[in-house]
Every structure is written in C-alpha cells, then in structure tokens.
A = this chain, B = another copy of it.
C-alpha cells in the first residue's frame, strides 16, 4: 500500500477542510493516507513553522505531501502554497468565481464560518441539546409535546447519538424512546408514544449486527443472543408497519447519515 502524508491546514478550526479532504481521499482506497490537521494557523509566524514541518517531510520521506487548506489571508496562504507539496486550496479556489458570480468582493475576513455572535441561535442550540439529554432513553415522556422528532427502536440501534447529533447540529428537539420487551410483546405502542404518532421515527438494524454491538459490551446471555436480537428486531419492525411509521435500517449508516436521513424523510428543517 502506498503511504502518503496529508496536512489539513486552516486559519480556524479546520473542520470544513478536514471533512472535504476526507471525502476526497476516501475515493482512493488503495492509498494509506496519514492525515494531520493543523488548525488555527492564523499568522505568518505559525505559517512559517508549518511550512518548515512540511518541507521536512519531503526531505525525509521523498514524496510530496498533500495539503488541503482553507486560509482566508493571502499572505498566510502564500507561505503554505509555496511549500514543496501538492496544494489544494478549498476556499480560494471558489472565492474568485463566487465574487464574479455575485458581482461583489468578498470580505476576506477570518472566522465567519463557525463563529458565534447571535445569542438567540446559541441559546436555541443549547436548549435543543438540553432537551435531547433530558429526554434520552425514554425519560420525561411528558415533554414529548415539545419534540420535533421522537426516535424509537430496540436497545443499541443508535438512538442516543443520533438525537444528540440532531440537536447539536440542527437545533432539533430530538427525544428517543427504547422499545423494551413489554412494548414488543404487547404489539402496541405505549400510551406515551401513541399520543405523538406523527413525531415517531423508527430505527431498525440487521439482527446479526445488533448482536455484534450488544456482545461487545454486554455479553449477557439473553440480551445479546441471536434469538433475542432476531425476535426484538422482528417485533419492532412489525410495530412500525402496523402503525405505518417511517423507519430506516441503520446497519450500514453512520450517525451523520442516520440523522440527515431522518430529517430528509420526516421533512424536518434545521432550526439553527
């Protein structure tokens, strides 16, 4: 396997450059990328230190590293661009064409993207996170009237992280409720859920995968047995179908995918 060094360099957090860099590199599965993120490179002194570090790699390893950068300041960007590396500027590549399309100059100011100045937006976000924490795992069901969405499913289908993701990134009031043995046996939605059917979204998973996940942490006989996992999943899916609830199979999905898929299918819009 080829090995290749990659630097993600940003004048702020590097989150955006990291995500797009990762997305691009995932298209080259035969290369073993060693990625290092260098955030907050926001003055020439820091940029020169980074440039030294990069030029050292070339001397030692022989091959030019890749650089994915989002740097607003022209002078700082030039220092990085002048390194002996393959330079991709994710920001500058588009800002010129964008200025042309809009017919105005960009402000060229750093830290507009992930910064916070709006107290309302900040508070909405925190309220959503607090709501999702407070309503995690079926508690506080009497607060479901405030929910934007209520994720339901058997234990270990990804409900908790999905709800936290939805609240943290989209400001949604996302509650979750675990379908326990009694619910599954009864074949009926519990009263606390039946009153909010329009907000329910089911998660399901391949029984084999569920068993893997459960065994990893709780190797209790019945809870993680193949038979139990198969039964729980079958009962949960029967429940979703009976009440015509939307549901998705999370087996091959990341938390981000589960979250955005739920929003897409439920027609929810971001609140922040």
Which of B2, B40, B64, B125 lies in contact with A261, CB distance below 8 A?
B40
CB distance from A237 to the nearest CB of B (A): 21
How many copies of the shown chain assemble into the complex? Answer: 2
**What is the size category of the interface that chain A forms with chain B?**
35 or more
Check B15–A116 contact: CB distance below 8 A.
Answer: no
- Supply 16 A–B pairs (Cβ within 8 Å), ascending by A: A15-B260, A16-B19, A19-B20, A20-B20, A26-B112, A27-B107, A28-B98, A28-B107, A40-B261, A90-B90, A114-B256, A122-B254, A125-B161, A126-B160, A130-B160, A168-B255
> CA–CA, A13 to B256, complex, Å?
7
Nearest B residue to A40, CB-CB? B264
Q: Assess whether A246 is interfacial by the CB under 8 Å rule.
A: no
| Residues 1-60 of A contacting B (Cβ, < 8 Å) | 2, 4, 12-16, 19-20, 22-24, 26-31, 39-40
Which of B23, B40, B161, B254 lies in contact with A16, CB distance below 8 A?
B23
